[in-house]
Structures are given as structure tokens and as C-alpha cells.
Amino acid sequence: MLEGGKYYKFKVTRKTDLGYMLLGDNNEEVLMFYKEAIKEYEVNDLVSAFIYYDKLGRFCATTKEVLATSKKIGLLQVVSVASNGVYLDNLTAKDVLLSSDYLPKDKKYWPEVNDKVFVLLKDKKKSLVAKTIKKSDVTYKVNFIEGENVLVTVEEISDKGLLCYTDDLVPVFIPYIFIRDNYHIGKSFKVHITKIKEDICFASLTENKEKQMLEDEEIILNYLKNNHKQMPFTAKSSSVSIENTFKISRKAFKRAYGKLYKEGKIYFDDTITYLKE
């Protein structure tokens, strides 16, 4: 029995006004529109064709090479955003739906038009749909080193950070303490690889350090201004307390804190930091 999202071998049995009729090994007949054929075929020609569904839930075929199948991960471009998900271009006549079931509840994290998302395909109730990938879906070989900058695409967003993939499907995780901007699934950008482990790589954003330090300084100053010009944090405070309060790493906090002190904007005692008048 045929399933959408896979390639099958067929024999061309006849030509019609709309396209070629293809016959599979299980005697199922499928229409391939002329525009879905990569060349002209003759009756009895053998072809390898990809199966998808038309708008009425009927099987259709194409001999074009698609980007994603049920077994092959593809990086598909978003062509439109709807209330039930986003539609992706898989180089077939009908776009593929990536359902809201596979996307965050908050739509601000959804992919935008022209973004690209890594997906696999799934045959579901006479419709071919996309699903986001998991780490267990990928097999990869790391082709970069620690300290290198690489391009990644966001695939998952959690309160712990961003799970991204390189074009070669190497998983890269960015902890939330390094995140300064708003990111959404499908957004691509360069990151700085900080650690390579057997099952995943870790990275920080490659944003200009001076700009990042200024933002961190502003975070500390705003906290002081909003809390009676004092705070129960110093350069000796724990990583957990700093990360939970300021959403930045202890290293970034100490760097910005030290600069504020040198500039004479703050002073401190053993446990309290004060904003200078």
C-alpha cells in the first residue's frame, strides 16, 4: 500500500489530458501531472516518483527531487503563516503544513515567511504533513572546532535555551543566559562554539563584546535604579543568584560590574552594592 512522503518505482501505463498514469507494484494507479515530470516519458517507461496528496486527498506523484521525505530530513522554506501552523515549500505542487501541534503555544516564537525549518514528513489522514526534528532523528559528524563561528538555525525553544542545528545537522545548544534578543524557530544566525561534547555542542552568541557589555551594564544600573539604588549582589555573589535575577552569566555580570566600579558609578561593601549619586 502506498504512503505519502516516500519514493516508489512505477511503470508509465498511459498518457491522459492531465498527465501520466503510473502503476505501482501493488497495482495502485497514481496520476503524475505533466508539470511534475522532470522530462517526457513514454508508455512502459520505469520511473522513481515521490508520492504526496492533492487538495482532495488523492495520491499524486512527481519525479522531481524533493527536499524532505518521511525518512530524509529537509530544510524547507516557510511560504505562509496560518492560524493552524505554517506552510512549507517541498518543491511539489502542494505546500506542506507544519502544524501548530509542533510549534510553541506563543506564536511570537513561530517561524516567519522566508525562514527555513528542518523537518521530516508524515502521512496523516490522506494528507502529507511536516514535523519538527528531534536529536534522535539525526546522525552527524562535527566538522568544526571549539572557538569557531558557525551558522545555525533554531529548531526548539525552551526555558533552558535554544536548540539549533547547523546545515550539516550538528545539534548546537545556546543556554538562555547568553540570549539577549528575541529568537524564533527558523531564525538563522552565527554562534561561537564554546564546547563540543559527544552528544551535543554548546555555543554563545557572537554579538560584539563591547555592545554586550554595555547592555549588561544597563541591566545592573536599571536594577539599582528600581530598587532604591542598592542591591544584595556583588562580584562575589553566586552564579545561581546572578543568573536567576539578571538572566546573564556570572562572568558577564562580573565584567560589567567591574567596569561600572572603575567608572565610579557604583560602590560596595561585603554584601551590598550601591549606586553612586
State residue 82 phi and psi, 5-degree precision: -125, 175
For the segment(s) 74-133, the CATH number from 2.40.50.140, 2.10.109.10, 2.60.120.620, 3.30.950.10 is 2.40.50.140
pLDDT at 207: 58
CATH number for the domain running over 7-62: 2.40.50.140
Contact 126, 53 (CB under 8 A): yes
Which one has a higher pLDDT value, 199 or 115?
Answer: 115
Compute the mean pLDDT over every residue in the chain, rounded to the nearest whole number. 92
pLDDT at 232: 95
Domains 7-62 and 74-133 share a fold: yes
Taking only the tens place, the pLDDT of each residue in 180-198 is: 778 999 999 999 999 999 8
pLDDT at 35: 94
- Output the nine-digit C-alpha cell for 155: 529548531
Rounded CA separation 52/126 (Å)? 9
Domain parsing of the chain, residue ranges: 7-62, 74-133, 137-205, 209-275
For the packed helices 250-262 and 239-246, what is the interaxial angle rounded to 10 degrees? 80
Taking only the tens place, the pLDDT of each residue in 139-196 is: 889 999 999 999 999 999 998 899 999 999 999 999 887 777 789 999 999 999 999 9
The correct answer on CATH 3.40.50.1980 for the domain covering 209-275 is no
CATH number for the domain running over 137-205: 2.40.50.140
pLDDT at 213: 80
